[in-house]
A and B are shown apart, each in its own frame.
Chain A
Amino acid sequence: MVTSLDTTDSVGMPVPAPSVPGGGRRRNRPGTQLIVGAALIALVALVALVSLVWTPYDPVATVASDRLQFPSAAHWFGTDRFGRDVFSAVMVGSQITLIVGFIAVGIAVVIGVPLGILAGMRPGRLGNLVMRGNDILLAFPGLLLAIVFGAVFGAGTVTAMVALGIGSIPAFARVARSGTLQVMKTDYVFAARAANRSEFRIALRHVLPNISGMIVVQCSVNFGIAVLAEAGLSFLGLGTMPPTPSWGRMLQESQQFLGSHDYLAMAPGIAIAVAVLGFNLLGDGLRDRFDPKMRSNR
Chain B
Amino acid sequence: MARRLLSSLGQFLATLLVATALIFVMLRVMPGDPAVVALGINATPEALAQWRTEYGTDQSLALQYLQWMGGLVRGDFGTSYVTSQDLSPLIADRVQVTLILVGLSMVVALLVAVPLGVLAAVRHRYPSGVVLSGISQVGVAVPNFLVGVLLVAVFAVHLGWFPSGGWVAPSDDPVQFLRRLVLPVIALGSVQAAIITRYVRSAVLEIMREDFLRTARAKGLTKGAALVRHGLRNAGVPVVTIVGVQLAAMLIGSVVIERVFVIPGLGSLLVDSVGNRDLLAVQAIVAVLVLLVIVINLLVDLAYTVLDPRLRKAA
Which chain A residues have a beta carbon within 8 Å of chain B's beta carbons? 23, 132, 135-136, 138-141, 143-144, 147-148, 150-152, 224, 228, 231-232, 235-238, 248, 251-252, 254-255, 258-259, 262, 265, 269, 272-274, 276-277, 280-281, 284
Q: Are B149 and A136 in contact (CB under 8 A)?
A: no
Q: Quick one: given A232-B143, A272-B143, A277-B141, are A23 and B209 in contact (CB under 8 Å)? A: yes
Q: Contacts of A251 on B, CB cut-off 8 Å?
A: 143, 145-146, 149
Q: Contacts of B11 on A, CB cut-off 8 Å?
A: 132, 135
Say how far B195's CB is from chain A's closest CB, in angstroms: 10
Say how far B108's CB is from chain A's closest CB, in angstroms: 20
Say how far A224's CB is from chain B's closest CB, in angstroms: 7
Centre residue among B146, B149, B260 by max chain A CB count within 10 A: B146
Q: A147 to B248: give the CA distance in the assembly, Å.
A: 15
Q: A136 to B294: give the CA distance in the assembly, Å.
A: 9
Q: Are A136 and B27 in contact (CB under 8 A)?
A: no
Q: A235 to B144: give the CA distance in the assembly, Å.
A: 11
> Which residues of B (275-315) have their CB < 8 Å from a CB of A?
277, 282, 286, 289-290, 293-294, 297
> Which residues of B (129-154) have their CB < 8 Å from a CB of A?
137-138, 140-143, 145-146, 149-150, 152-153
Q: Are B27 and A152 in contact (CB under 8 A)?
A: yes
Q: Are A280 and B140 in contact (CB under 8 A)?
A: yes
Query: Using a Cβ cutoff of 8 Å, how many contacts connect chains A and B?
Result: 127
Q: Contacts of B273 on A, CB cut-off 8 Å?
A: 151
Q: A148 to B26: give the CA distance in the assembly, Å.
A: 8
Q: Are A141 and B157 in contact (CB under 8 A)?
A: no
CB-CB nearest in chain B for A37: B137
Q: Are A238 and B150 in contact (CB under 8 A)?
A: no
Q: Tell me what chain B mostly uses at the interface: helix, strand, loop, or mixed.
A: helix
> Which residues of B (198-252) have their CB < 8 Å from a CB of A?
209, 248-249, 252
Q: Contacts of A272 on B, CB cut-off 8 Å?
A: 141-143, 146
Q: Are B293 and A139 in contact (CB under 8 A)?
A: yes
CB-CB nearest in chain A for B258: A236
Specify which of B19, B26, B158, B260 is in contact with A136 (CB 8 Å cutoff). B19
Q: Are A265 and B22 in contact (CB under 8 A)?
A: no
Specify which of A138, A141, A236, A262 is in contact with B259 (CB 8 Å cutoff). A236
Q: Contacts of A248 on B, CB cut-off 8 Å?
A: 143
5 A-B pairs whose Cβ atoms sit less than 8 Å apart in the complex: A236-B255, A248-B143, A265-B150, A273-B138, A277-B141
Which chain B residues have a beta carbon within 8 Å of chain A's beta carbons? 11, 14-15, 18-19, 22-23, 26-27, 29-31, 137-138, 140-143, 145-146, 149-150, 152-153, 157-158, 209, 248-249, 252-253, 255-256, 259-260, 270-271, 273-274, 277, 282, 286, 289-290, 293-294, 297
Q: Quick one: given A139-B294, A143-B252, are A258 and B138 in contact (CB under 8 Å)? A: no
Say how far B113's CB is from chain A's closest CB, in angstroms: 16
Q: A281 to B140: give the CA distance in the assembly, Å.
A: 10
Say how far A236's CB is from chain B's closest CB, in angstroms: 6
Q: A284 to B133: give the CA distance in the assembly, Å.
A: 12
Q: Are B153 and A139 in contact (CB under 8 A)?
A: no
Q: Contacts of B252 on A, CB cut-off 8 Å?
A: 141, 143-144
Q: A236 to B275: give the CA distance in the assembly, Å.
A: 11
Q: Are A141 and B248 in contact (CB under 8 A)?
A: yes
Q: A131 to B11: give the CA distance in the assembly, Å.
A: 12
Q: Contacts of A258 on B, CB cut-off 8 Å?
A: 149, 152-153, 157
Q: Are B141 and A139 in contact (CB under 8 A)?
A: no
Q: Contacts of B149 on A, CB cut-off 8 Å?
A: 251, 254-255, 258, 265, 269
Say how far B111's CB is from chain A's closest CB, in angstroms: 24
Specify which of B31, B157, B297 is in contact with A139 (CB 8 Å cutoff). B297
Q: Quick one: given A148-B26, A152-B26, A273-B141, are A232 and B256 in contact (CB under 8 Å)? A: yes
Specify which of A139, A148, A231, A277 is in contact with B19 (CB 8 Å cutoff). A139
CB-CB nearest in chain A for B268: A236
Centre residue among B142, B143, B249 by max chain A CB count within 10 A: B143
Q: Contacts of B150 on A, CB cut-off 8 Å?
A: 262, 265, 269
CB-CB nearest in chain B for A265: B149
Say how far A262's CB is from chain B's closest CB, in angstroms: 5
Say how far B246's CB is from chain A's closest CB, in angstroms: 11
